[in-house]
């Protein structure tokens, strides 16, 4: 992942890799459970994205700060405790700030703690890089995750409810495709978006050849 | 607990609200380890075992330690630590007592720590059965049945993926894309169980 | 494995026999014509439109997908025609036409071509399309047409709907007697999907399939027998004809569950498949939230078909092939 180089070039690369090149959802295929579960409404997706962003940023910064203090053998349990602490903070904050969104998805907010993206970034990046790079990495991955979640939820809400963030886009007399907000719709949306990403990669590969 | 309640729990956790097809829990191991039936079976057994035990342990911990000492806000940290150490303990125990079983399940056990289905069922148990009578039995059973549902989903998907090896899938659909489309179609079939009256 | 020569037709997309895929598809389609005709006769011109739109949209989608995937267009083999026809037959007669087109698109594009086209699909395309429409437009999918022959408007709901929502007594009130009910069900003068109501014509079509050796008896017989046994033990003698002749059971047992691509190859596997279909159908009919379970039961058994094949082939559990 090009983390050996520690010179000052490539900061933007560190930031932008999470957007498309190493997009956590569509390319790395990590952290799928909350992606599918809360993407039926754009509002839910934003709540999830913000909570996720917060936990990823805080845990990446903290872990890169304390990396020297943690013995190698127990690093994974230590990472988990640090992440769990921030998830608790995020969960309590959300309960206080946006109680009705939180009530809908508290289970999945709590489950951020076992989200493979966060533990994966801690293990593969934050524990080996300095604070600034870790923060950039977290912002890139967080934006990539939130944007992907936003795309999925926008597709599902528009087709399944006919609305976007609660505003009606499609007139009432055209019946929305309800199945898109049910479980199968989540699987289909992510399946076809992954196929689209594959298609783009195949096209690019052909051009570069 | 009556037999009817047990059947209701079974139908609910295995079919109506299957952890994969309806609750979206445990998707990473689901798409990761379902390439062939033997490993799907191994992972399935490991998950059934850990989910059952973890449900029992976390419910007890919540009811008899966290609630009395007013520490419920620590539940995320407490549960994840309990599950992680429990998985470690199970691995050591199996290695000593049942080496054959350990050889077949061994590689799947460490993966389970970050399986959100295990932690998910622990959270579901404490929200659903916090004040109910027989909470302990219900939690343990829910963990067991949810694990069975997970295993069923794993086996179905592994069978289909083995068959898809020979299919002429379009280039862009290869890999996880077709796995998700298949999961969507299975989950359409599972919609038939919605609204079950028990 | 294939001891009986006639059984080789069940793997027809892969093995060349005198009975080609193409001929098979057209025989099945022809066997469905009487039931489709009865549907149009009972429910009027809109039913014909539904059939036309489903068939047309299926063929157009098939052409489109074939061009997109750079495969030879396979309209002539009749599989798209058959899928469209089967889908139309399990839709309500008054179903909006754009929804028909969407369902056909889903059947062909998602449940067939995403997996590589005919012969590679895991789920029966027509049933996948129907289940998709049921999830997408639940209200339209359960809005039935009132038959003109019944001035008191009793058949606005299907018999299964009536039983599920208002119980056995209201069903008897509508049809006076058991014999009257069973006669209407057998002929098909009841509310329901276009091609599902006339049990008599579907049985004739199904027998044609078996005698033309397009399909074997294993799946329909084991499926229907399971339904008979379960309905006897859960309801009694009078429940047997009721469960047999209502809903999509005959259409499902003879025309959908027997789809050679999505059901097991071995006779033993086929019998397991049929029993599974029967059990799930009755489970959903008796306990489920939907009045009809045939569609979901067959889809569920489609999904475990690879496992059935795996375990009805190998003798030792879990041994690698």
Report the C-alpha gap between B179 and B158 in whole angstroms.
10
Assess whether pLDDT exceeds 60 at residue A209: no
Q: Provide the pLDDT for residue C237.
A: 80
CB B159 within 8 A of CB C307: yes
Closest Cα in chain B, distance from residue A150 (Å): 18
Q: Provide the pLDDT for residue C73.
A: 67
Q: Provide the pLDDT for residue C147.
A: 59
In B112-171, the DSSP E strands lie at none
Q: CA nearest B187 in C: which residue?
A: C300
SS3 (DSSP) at A164: strand
Kind of pairing between the strands at A163-164 and A167-168: antiparallel
Q: Provide the pLDDT for residue C17.
A: 52
Alpha-carbon distances, residue C280 vs A137, B15, C226, C277 (angstroms): 50, 11, 10, 5
Q: Provide the pLDDT for residue A2.
A: 42
Report the C-alpha gap between B118 and B35 in whole angstroms.
21
Sequence-distant (≥ 6) Cβ neighbours of residue B94 within 8 angstroms: B101, B102, B105, B106, B109
Check if the interface score ipTM surpasses 0.90.
Answer: no
Which range of B73-77, C205-209, C316-320 scores highest in mean pLDDT? It is C205-209
Residue C173 burial (CB < 10 Å; 0-12/13-18/19+)? exposed
> Stretch C185-211: mean pLDDT, rounded?
85
Closest Cα in chain C, distance from residue B16 (Å): 10
Residue range C237-287, pLDDT digits in tens: 878 888 888 888 999 999 999 988 889 988 899 999 999 999 999 999 888
Residue B34 tokens read as 């379902």
CB C254 within 8 A of CB C201: no
Q: Which pTM was predicted?
A: 0.89
Report the C-alpha gap between C275 and C45 in whole angstroms.
37
> Stretch A82-100: mean pLDDT, rounded?
90
Assess whether pLDDT exceeds 70 at residue C148: no
Phi, psi of C309, deg, nearest 5: -60, -40
Radius of gyration of chain B (CA): 18
Residue C7's pLDDT band, with cuts at 50, 70 and 90, is very low
∠ CA A146-A118-B102, rounded to 5°:
135
Pairwise pLDDT comparison (C288 vs A28), residue with the higher score: C288
Buried b (16+ CB within 10 A) or exposed e, C147-171: beeeeeebbebbbbbbbbeeeeeeb
Q: How many CB atoms lie within 10 A of CB C281?
A: 33
% of chain B with per-residue pLDDT over 70: 96
> Stretch C77-89: mean pLDDT, rounded?
90
Q: Would you call B180 and A91 a contact, using CB atoms and an 8 Å cutoff? A: no
Q: Provide the pLDDT for residue C314.
A: 52
Q: Would you call B114 and A192 a contact, using CB atoms and an 8 Å cutoff? A: no
Beta bridge partners of A164: A167
Residue range B2-53, pLDDT digits in tens: 888 888 889 888 998 898 898 888 888 888 888 888 888 888 888 898 899 8
Q: Would you call A178 and C136 a contact, using CB atoms and an 8 Å cutoff? A: yes
pLDDT averaged over every residue in chain C: 82
Closest among A129, A160, A159, A149 to A190, alpha carbons compared:
A149
Chain B contact partners (≥3 CB pairs within 8 A): A, C
Report the 3 state secondary structure along C216-253: CCHHHHHHHHHHHHHHHHHCCCCHHHHHHHCCCHHHHH
Assess whether pLDDT exceeds 60 at residue C291: yes
Residue C60's pLDDT band, with cuts at 50, 70 and 90, is very high
Q: Provide the pLDDT for residue C109.
A: 92
Q: Provide the pLDDT for residue C2.
A: 41
∠ CA C288-C289-C292, rounded to 5°:
75
Which range of B111-120, C107-116, C242-251 scores highest in mean pLDDT? It is C107-116
Pairwise pLDDT comparison (C5 vs B130), residue with the higher score: B130
Q: Provide the pLDDT for residue A44.
A: 87
CB C58 within 8 A of CB C25: no
Q: Would you call C135 and A175 a contact, using CB atoms and an 8 Å cutoff? A: no
Q: Would you call A178 and C102 a contact, using CB atoms and an 8 Å cutoff? A: no
Q: Would you call A85 and B173 a contact, using CB atoms and an 8 Å cutoff? A: no
Q: Would you call C115 and B164 a contact, using CB atoms and an 8 Å cutoff? A: yes
Using CB atoms, pick whichever of A115, A183, A198 lies closest to residue B22: A183
Q: Provide the pLDDT for residue A9.
A: 54
Assess whether pLDDT exceeds 50 at residue C301: yes
Residue C134's pLDDT band, with cuts at 50, 70 and 90, is very high
Using CB atoms, pick whichever of A34, A116, A185 lies closest to residue B114: A116
Closest Cα in chain B, distance from residue C137 (Å): 13
Sequence-distant (≥ 6) Cβ neighbours of residue B70 within 8 angstroms: none
CB B105 within 8 A of CB B11: no
Q: In chain B, which residues touch A (CB < 8 A)?
A: 21-28, 31, 73-74, 76-77, 80-81, 84, 113-116, 119-120, 123-124, 127, 171-181, 183-185, 187-188, 190-191
- Provide the total of helices (H) and of strands (E) in chain B, helices listed first: 9, 0
Report the C-alpha gap between C143 and C137 in whole angstroms.
10
């Amino acid at each position: 992942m090009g983390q050996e180089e520690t010179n000052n070039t490539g900061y933007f690369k560190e930031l932008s890799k999470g957007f498309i090149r190493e997009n956590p959802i569509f390319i790395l295929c990590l952290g799928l459970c909350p992606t599918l579960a809360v993407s039926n409404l754009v509002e839910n997706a934003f709540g999830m994205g913000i909570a996720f962003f917060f936990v990823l940023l805080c845990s990446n910064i903290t872990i890169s700060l304390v990396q020297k203090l943690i013995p190698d053998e127990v690093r994974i349990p230590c990472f988990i405790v640090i992440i769990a602490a921030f998830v608790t903070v995020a969960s309590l904050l959300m309960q206080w700030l946006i109680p009705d969104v939180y009530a809908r998805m508290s289970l999945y907010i709590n489950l951020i703690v076992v989200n493979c993206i966060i533990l994966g970034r801690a293990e593969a990046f934050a524990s080996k890089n300095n604070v600034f790079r870790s923060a950039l990495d977290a912002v890139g991955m967080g934006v990539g995750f939130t944007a992907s979640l936003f795309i999925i939820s926008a597709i599902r809400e528009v087709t399944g409810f006919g609305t976007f963030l609660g505003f009606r886009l499609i007139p009432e007399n055209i019946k929305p495709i309800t199945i898109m907000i049910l479980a199968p719709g989540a699987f289909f949306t992510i399946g076809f978006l992954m196929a689209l990403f594959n298609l783009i990669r195949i096209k690019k590969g052909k051009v570069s050849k | 607990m009556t037999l009817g309640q047990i059947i209701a729990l079974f139908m609910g956790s295995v079919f109506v609200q299957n952890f994969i097809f309806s609750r979206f829990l445990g998707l990473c191991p689901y798409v990761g380890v379902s390439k062939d039936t033997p490993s799907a079976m191994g992972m399935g057994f490991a998950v059934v075992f850990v989910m059952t035990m973890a449900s029992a342990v976390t419910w007890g911990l919540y009811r008899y330690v966290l609630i009395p000492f007013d520490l419920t806000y620590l539940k995320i940290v407490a549960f994840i630590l309990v599950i992680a150490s429990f998985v470690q303990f199970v691995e050591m125990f199996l290695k000593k007592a049942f080496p054959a079983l350990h050889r077949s399940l061994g590689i799947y056990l460490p993966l389970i720590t970050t399986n959100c289905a295990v932690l998910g069922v622990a959270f579901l148990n404490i929200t659903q059965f916090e004040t109910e009578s027989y909470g302990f039995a219900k939690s343990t059973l829910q963990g067991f049945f949810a694990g069975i549902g997970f295993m069923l989903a794993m086996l179905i998907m592994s069978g289909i993926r083995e068959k898809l090896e020979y299919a002429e899938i379009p280039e862009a659909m290869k890999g996880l894309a077709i796995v998700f489309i298949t999961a969507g179609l299975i989950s359409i079939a599972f919609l038939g169980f919605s609204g079950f009256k028990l | 494995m294939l001891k009986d020569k006639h059984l080789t037709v069940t793997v027809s997309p892969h093995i060349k026999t005198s009975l080609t895929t193409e001929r098979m598809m057209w025989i099945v389609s022809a066997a469905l014509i009487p039931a489709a005709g009865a549907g149009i006769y009972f429910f009027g011109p809109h039913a014909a439109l539904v059939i036309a739109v489903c068939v047309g949209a299926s063929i157009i989608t098939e052409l489109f997908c074939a061009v997109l995937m750079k495969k030879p267009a396979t309209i002539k083999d009749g599989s798209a025609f058959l899928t469209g026809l089967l889908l139309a037959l399990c839709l309500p007669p008054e179903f909006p036409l754009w929804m028909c087109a969407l369902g056909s698109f889903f059947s062909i594009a998602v449940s067939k071509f995403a997996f590589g086209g005919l012969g590679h699909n895991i789920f029966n395309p027509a049933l996948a399309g129907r289940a998709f429409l049921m999830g997408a437009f639940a209200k339209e999918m359960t809005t039935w047409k009132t038959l003109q022959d019944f001035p008191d408007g009793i058949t606005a709901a299907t018999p299964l709907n009536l039983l599920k929502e208002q119980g056995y007594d209201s069903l008897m009130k509508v049809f006076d007697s058991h014999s009257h009910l069973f006669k209407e069900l057998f002929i098909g003068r009841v509310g329901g999907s276009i091609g599902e109501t006339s049990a008599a014509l579907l049985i004739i079509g199904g027998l044609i399939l078996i005698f033309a050796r397009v399909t074997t008896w294993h799946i329909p017989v084991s499926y229907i027998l399971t339904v008979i046994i379960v309905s006897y033990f859960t309801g009694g003698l009078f429940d047997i004809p009721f469960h047999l002749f209502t809903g999509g059971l005959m259409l499902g047992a003879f025309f959908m569950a027997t789809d050679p691509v999505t059901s097991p190859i071995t006779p033993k596997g086929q019998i397991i498949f049929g029993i599974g279909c029967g059990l799930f159908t009755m489970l959903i009919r008796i306990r489920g939230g939907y009045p009809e379970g045939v569609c979901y039961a067959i889809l569920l058994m489609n999904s475990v078909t690879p496992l059935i094949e795996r375990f009805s082939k190998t003798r030792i559990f879990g041994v690698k092939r």
